[in-house]
Structure 1
């Protein structure tokens, strides 16, 4: 089974992001960015990457609770894009901090919190994928 989880890692917005600051994604269209933001903002260290990506997948595909166990096995049977591809980082200026147990917190780009975290030797810093090809 494949995993997208990280531990003791920060994923920062890419250098070519168009965001000047962390902003809330537009609401109403149920985009990946909107769904991820709803689950993570104000819910620090409650979700792992695998849990988040699978839950968003289920909502977008209309997979109800009774069918989720089989759907999860099928979803992770092949590799899935990790949060380095998330529009929250690439477009909306959010970083992801993964703690020692793989749980995620959103951190706004340009914040003192992000500067402190990226300076820690115990944390691996990775950039999100470039916003443009």
Structure 2
């Protein structure tokens, strides 16, 4: 049985060194080369509380590596057989000002650092709180 890479009842606050004070939507240079942050944002923001961290990490990997749908299940097993960085390392929380809420089922939603919802989640003592990883190593 493989390890569960999802988080439950957890809020990932923006990094201490996040350069923005309001949530910014990441923008692709062009439609063919969407960045990881753009793909993550589109999945989570367009369908809040639909996907788990595992879903987002793997689907972004599959998209960027052109893995056909019929091979996704097998490739997902391979992908998670190795350690994978969690969404604390995502540019969404490090650079773009988005907090990531993992609900009781492990499903994700994004909240802009300047929103009332972000501050309510940040102050909710019933869940675990972590910060997105810092960009600098000071």
Partner residue of 1:64 out of 63, 68, 80: 68
With the length of structure 1 as denominator, give the TM-score of the two structures.
Answer: 0.95
Does 1:15 pair with 2:16? yes
With the length of structure 2 as denominator, give the TM-score of the two structures.
Answer: 0.92
Task: Report deviation, 1:51.
Answer: 0.5
Match of 1:73 in 2: 77
Alignment of structure 1 residues 1-133 onto 2, 5 Å: 1-27=2-28, 28=30, 29-133=33-137
Q: Flag as ranges the 4+ runs of structure 1 deviating above 4 A.
A: none
Report the 3-state secondary structure (helix = DSSP H, G, I; strand = E; otherwise coil) of the residue aligned with 1:41: helix
Count of paired positions:
133
Runs of at least 5 residues in structure 1 that lack an aligned partner in the other structure: none
Runs of at least 5 residues in structure 2 that lack an aligned partner in the other structure: none
Task: Report deviation, 1:109.
Answer: 0.5
Task: Report deviation, 1:9.
Answer: 0.5
The alignment's C-alpha RMSD in Å is 1.0
